[in-house]
Chains A and B, each alone.
Chain A
Amino acid sequence: MFEKMRVKTKVIDSGKSGLDTQTLEVNVGPQHPSTHGVFRMTIVLDGEVVKSLRPVMGYLHRNHEQIAENITYSASMPYTDRLDYFNSMSNNQAWAMTVEQLAEVEIPDRAEYIRVIMSELTRLVNHVSVIGFLLNDMGAFFTPTLFAFREREKVLDVFEAVSGSRMMCNYLRFGGVNRDLTDDQLGQIKKIVADFPAFLDEFETLLAQNEIVCMRCQNVGVLPAELAINASITGPMLRASGVNYDIRKVDQYSVYDRFEFKIPLGEKGDVYDRYYVRMLEMRESLKILNQALEQIEPGPFMAPKVPACLKNPRNFKPPVGEAYGRVEAPKGELGFYVVSDGSKEPWRYHVRAPSFINLTVLEAMCIGYKLADAIVILGSIDIVLGEVDR
């Protein structure tokens, strides 16, 4: 018993000094304050320096894909909320788009606008939270997190009024959205969008120029563009490495082609770039929101002409075939791949989860940096374990 509990150590030849030194293997997680859930990293440390890092996932595995293959298409919608529980609206959108692609549904304009407004609000929520958590991992004692949550609450209030739930929205439906947005709610969103820049300025002044943050973040956890592309990293992480790839621009899905917005790109691909690119992305999101709120017009919020198979969503049986729908979720490319055999349940259902794929380069980014850096690098990837483990 005693021997088993001993620290597993390896004697390494330290060369010149002739000192007998050992590496230390520590398990960061699954219960750890800054692994953002039940994630485990087995880190081999030489002093404070990371020698190797092995991510261990699966503590939150819920069999999401298998469940979805055993329930109807529409019943999968609330399950997608629980993938990345910060961004249920984008998850809904990706799943709805996939099935609409499968069943070839035309979506009315108003529904598309509502979807865009909701997913951009989600982006704001996600980015403020992740920046708050990142700074919290760095040791800023909850102030940025609570500032972020102060603003996040306002958006969640809108989500609650619109969809009935703050986080597990389950708002989108195949062919449109569940309920219409009232003018009150639109006004509420307009107010949030109008107030947000003031908060962003405050948030940025709080720590973006802070010397300690700069020291901790700049040139730490550098992800070269080649590696990012090879590892199929997406989202703000890829753009921080200087690769111009945003599905909103590439696919021009939904009504994104009607808006004027830019993609911020990073310079070096370090933690600071990932942090700051998210900051800038929020400002671009606000631009999209402003335009969408101006352009939205009254109209039907559900597709008036749906194919016969969608008339009754309970007995929705899409034609035989396959579809892959993807959106630019706040964390990266979120895709759903679905194969239909013409029955009520999907024959195959797969989620391309950005958190999971972005996590694959963690070791490559961490080696050679300190333990404290590894935590910050993990925070800058922006993972949600609900999506990583599914």
Chain B
Amino acid sequence: MDQMFVNIKAALVGLSDKVFPDWVGVLVSIAVSIVAIALLGPLIMMYLTLIERKVVARMQNRIGPNRVGKYGLLQPLADGVKMLIKEDIVPRNADKVLHLLAPILIVAPALLVFAVLPFGRNMTAVDLNVGILFFAAISSIGTIGIFMAAWGSNNKFSVLGGMRSVAQMISYEIPMVMSVVPVLLAVGSLSTNAIVEAQADWHWFVFTPWGFLGCVIFFLCGVAECNRSPFDLAEAESEIIAGFHTEYSGMKFALFYMAEFMSAFTISGMTTTLFLGGWQGPLLPSWLWFFLKTYGLIFIMLWFRATLPRLRVDQLMALAWKFLLPLSLVNIVATCIWHFLSDEAFFTPAAFLVPLALLVFSYWGLMKLNQPYMPEKRVYPLVD
């Protein structure tokens, strides 16, 4: 079970080896991975839309889509058909080339990131030795696509959304990368596989104080990166209609959604890989563990969306620069302390408590320093 997909691939390669010369086998091996990823991305996106609608509906005392197929399971297909046959409207004064290119440029990097995700034991499409770097670099390309869409639409709301998006992406990239540094310090490798393997035997980084904090920061920044609530300012429907994709319809619009959902998945998958032990886990097959953890994180994203209002643009910046960034810097120091005190063991009381104390103290200190953003206590007199 565990190596099911790996074996299928090996069988396919073996089959081609029997019939064709060696170099075809290499090509087949590459092609199988590419096809698998290229199919997996859209498939995940399609059913994420259904999951999102179902989960959010349940949180709002509704049933959610249930008309197309049993439990609405065919709803994504119906949506897809609808999107495909819709008219593609391009505003008259839009920059036609940018308008066309933008959705493509957003989807491509979102799909590329799948390449370095370790879906299970021996199940990384491309085991890059700089996997994390690749992830950080590629996932920020999407911003260009968003700004192209915003500018190309020739719409004031789009431009506002695009500018918000660019500012947000640049700000959140920094604490995001900074929160990965502790993992790199602990593992000593940028390869995603090496990181997962370092977390064997329940040594998930999330169980350490720095790992927990890093996980939270990374996940929050990731949510901001893929423009999801409560950081969905770039497409805040109550303020700027739909932000950068106001002027998109039909399949182009669907591509924006695809990119958003695929990056939601990759962010969750990467958080799983970095902090939640990746595919490590007892009993169940490794890939199942990976998907379980990833969908758990996606559930949290949907939960955010169903609960939280969105931040204002200045508060968003403040959260990144005045709160998450200092905290992630302290986190690096905490990791170093943990490393020296733990002395190669995963858990020792001193190595647990000292970084924890440091982090709690700095959290408290940052709260004090960010007093203007703290809620005020109000008293409401009741008079006659």
Which residues of chain A are near B381, meaning CB under 8 Å? 264-265
Instruction: Let me know if B21 is at the binding interface, CB within 8 A.
Output: no
Contact of A139 with B60 at beta-carbon distance under 8 Å, contacts A2-B93, A26-B156 already known: no
Which residues of chain A are near B373, meaning CB under 8 Å? 215
**A263 vs chain B, min Cβ distance (A):** 5
**A141–B238 CA distance with the chains assembled, in angstroms:** 10
**A150–B57 CA distance with the chains assembled, in angstroms:** 13
Contact code string B354-375 (vs A, CB < 8 Å = 1, else 0): 0000000000000000000111
Instruction: Let me know if A194 is at the binding interface, CB within 8 A.
Output: no
Which residues of chain B are near A150, meaning CB under 8 Å? 61
- In B55-86, the 8 Å CB interface with A consists of 56, 59-62
Contact code string A135-147 (vs B, CB < 8 Å = 1, else 0): 1111111110011
Query: Is A276's CB under 8 angstroms from B380's CB?
Result: yes
Question: Among B236, B312, B315, B384, which residue has its beta carbon within 8 angstroms of that of A262?
Answer: B384
**A222 vs chain B, min Cβ distance (A):** 13
Which residues of chain A are near B92, meaning CB under 8 Å? 5
Query: Is B384's CB under 8 angstroms from A140's CB?
Result: no
Query: Is B380's CB under 8 angstroms from A266's CB?
Result: yes
Query: Is A138's CB under 8 angstroms from B309's CB?
Result: yes
**A41 vs chain B, min Cβ distance (A):** 12
**B179 vs chain A, min Cβ distance (A):** 21
**A170–B173 CA distance with the chains assembled, in angstroms:** 58
Instruction: Let me know if A7 is at the binding interface, CB within 8 A.
Output: yes
**A32–B246 CA distance with the chains assembled, in angstroms:** 12
Query: Is A207's CB under 8 angstroms from B309's CB?
Result: yes
Tell which of B125-133, B218-226, B300-308 binds the partner.
B300-308
Instruction: Let me know if A71 is at the binding interface, CB within 8 A.
Output: no
Query: Is B238's CB under 8 angstroms from A34's CB?
Result: yes
Query: Is A206's CB under 8 angstroms from B307's CB?
Result: yes
Query: Is A141's CB under 8 angstroms from B380's CB?
Result: no
**A381 vs chain B, min Cβ distance (A):** 15
Contact code string A205-218 (vs B, CB < 8 Å = 1, else 0): 01101111111101
Instruction: Let me know if A289 is at the binding interface, CB within 8 A.
Output: no
Which residues of chain A are near B88, meaning CB under 8 Å? none
Contact code string B308-346 (vs A, CB < 8 Å = 1, else 0): 111111110000000000000000000000000000000
Query: Is B311's CB under 8 angstroms from A371's CB?
Result: no
Query: Is B312's CB under 8 angstroms from A215's CB?
Result: yes
Contact of A262 with B308 at beta-carbon distance under 8 Å, contacts A34-B238, A372-B313 already known: no
**B309 vs chain A, min Cβ distance (A):** 4
Which residues of chain B are near A34, meaning CB under 8 Å? 238-239
Contact code string B134-169 (vs A, CB < 8 Å = 1, else 0): 000000000000000000000011011000100000
Instruction: Let me know if A33 is at the binding interface, CB within 8 A.
Output: yes
**A219–B314 CA distance with the chains assembled, in angstroms:** 14
Instruction: Let me know if B240 is at the binding interface, CB within 8 A.
Output: yes
Contact of A146 with B376 at beta-carbon distance under 8 Å, contacts A244-B383, A263-B382 already known: no
Which residues of chain B are near A147, meaning CB under 8 Å? 60-61
Instruction: Let me know if A24 is at the binding interface, CB within 8 A.
Output: yes
Query: Is A212's CB under 8 angstroms from B230's CB?
Result: yes
Query: Is A370's CB under 8 angstroms from B308's CB?
Result: no
**A365–B56 CA distance with the chains assembled, in angstroms:** 34
Taking CB as reference atom, which chain B residue is nearest A5?
B93
Instruction: Let me know if A46 is at the binding interface, CB within 8 A.
Output: no
Query: Is B238's CB under 8 angstroms from A33's CB?
Result: yes
Query: Is A215's CB under 8 angstroms from B315's CB?
Result: yes
Query: Is A139's CB under 8 angstroms from B314's CB?
Result: no
Instruction: Let me know if A273 is at the binding interface, CB within 8 A.
Output: yes
Instruction: Let me know if A311 is at the binding interface, CB within 8 A.
Output: no
**A55–B379 CA distance with the chains assembled, in angstroms:** 33
Instruction: Let me know if A389 is at the binding interface, CB within 8 A.
Output: no
Taking CB as reference atom, which chain B residue is nearest A280?
B380
**A34–B373 CA distance with the chains assembled, in angstroms:** 25
Question: Among B59, B60, B164, B378, which residue has its beta carbon within 8 angstroms of that of A273?
Answer: B378
Give 21 CB contacts A-B under 8 Å: A5-B92, A34-B238, A48-B314, A136-B238, A139-B230, A139-B309, A141-B56, A143-B59, A206-B307, A215-B311, A215-B315, A218-B375, A249-B384, A265-B380, A265-B382, A267-B379, A267-B380, A272-B378, A284-B382, A372-B312, A375-B239
Would you list the 5 A-B pairs with minimal beta carbon distance, nearest first? Answer: A139-B310, A214-B375, A138-B309, A262-B382, A34-B238
